[in-house]
Amino acid sequence: MLGRVMFRFAGDRKANVAVIFALMMVPIVFLLGMTLDYTVAQRRQEQLNAAADAAAIAAVRPAMLTQTDDTVVQATAAAVFAAKANLPGLSTTPTPTITVTDSGLSRTITVSYVAQSVNNFPSVLGRQTWQVTGSATAKASSAPNMNFYLLLDDSPSMAIAATQTDINNMITATKSQPSYAANCGFACHEANPGGKAASSSNKDNLTVARANNITLRIDLVQNAVTQLLVGPWSCPQSGVSGGVMQCMSAINNTTYKAAIYTFDYNLNTVQTLTTPTTAGTKISNISLLTVDHQNCPVVDSKGACTYTTDFGTDISGGLTGVNNVMPAPGTGTNQQGDTPQEVVFLVTDGVDDKLIPKTGGSCDANATYALPTANSTTLRCQQPLDTTVCTTIKNRGIRIAVLYTEYLPLPTESWYNTRIAQFNNPSSSTGTIATRLQSCASPGLYANVQTGGDISAALTNLFIKVASSTASLVQ
Domains along the chain with CATH numbers: 1-141 (no CATH), 146-160+216-474 (3.40.50.410)
Backbone angles phi, psi at 129, to 5 degrees: -135, 160
Q: In the beta sheet, which residues pair with residue 107? A: 102, 140
Query: What's the gap between Cα 212 and its chain centre?
Result: 36
Backbone angles phi, psi at 381, to 5 degrees: -120, 125
> Given this model, what pLDDT does residue 413 score?
79
C-beta separation of 375 from 305 below 8 A: no
Q: In the beta sheet, which residues pair with residue 440? A: none
> Given this model, what pLDDT does residue 279 score?
96
pLDDT digits (tens, 9 = 90+) for 118-154: 887 665 556 788 788 999 999 887 778 999 999 999 9
Run of H or E including 435: helix 432-440
Q: Across the beta sheet with 446-449, what order do the strands follow?
A: 267-274, 256-263, 146-153, 341-348, 399-405, 446-449
Query: What's the gap between Cα 215 and its chain centre?
Result: 27
Please tell me whether the peptide bond between 426 and the residue prior to it is cis, using omega within 30 degrees of 0. yes
Query: What's the gap between Cα 160 and its chain centre?
Result: 27
Q: What is the mean pLDDT of residues 348-356?
A: 92
Instruction: With H, G, I as helix, E, B as strand and everything else as coil, classify residue 405.
Output: strand
Give the burial string for 134-167 (b: 16+ CB within 10 Å, else e): bbbbbbbebbbbbbbbbbbbbbbbbbbbbeeebb
Instruction: With H, G, I as helix, E, B as strand and everything else as coil, classify residue 451.
Output: coil
Distance in Å from the first CA to the final CA of the chain: 79
Which of 256-260, 300-304, 416-420 is modeled with the greatest confidence?
A: 256-260
Instruction: Please tell me which residue, 26 or 233, carries the higher pLDDT value.
Output: 233
Q: In the beta sheet, which residues pair with residue 110? A: 99, 137
Q: What is the mean pLDDT of residues 89-97?
A: 89
pLDDT at 377 over 60: yes
Torsion angle defined by CA atoms of residues 322, 252, 55 and 136, in that order, rounded to the nearest 10 degrees: -20
pLDDT digits (tens, 9 = 90+) for 210-226: 999 999 999 999 999 99
**Residue 449, CB-side half-sphere exposure with 13 Å CA sphere:** 24
Percent of the chain residues topping a pLDDT of 90: 46
C-beta separation of 394 from 408 below 8 A: no
- DSSP tag of 263: E
C-beta separation of 283 from 295 below 8 A: no
> Given this model, what pLDDT does residue 223 score?
93
Angstrom distances, CA of residue 383 to CA of 334, 363, 368, 430:
43, 7, 11, 15
Question: What's the rounded Cα separation, in Å, for the pair 135 and 112?
Answer: 4
> Given this model, what pLDDT does residue 119 score?
81
pLDDT digits (tens, 9 = 90+) for 424-469: 989 888 999 999 999 999 999 999 988 778 888 899 999 988 887 5
- DSSP tag of 161: B
Give the burial string for 77-94 (b: 16+ CB within 10 Å, else e): bbebbeeebeeebbeebb
C-beta separation of 61 from 252 below 8 A: no
Run of H or E including 388: helix 388-395
Give the burial string for 363-376 (b: 16+ CB within 10 Å, else e): bbeebeeebbebee
> Given this model, what pLDDT does residue 250 score?
87
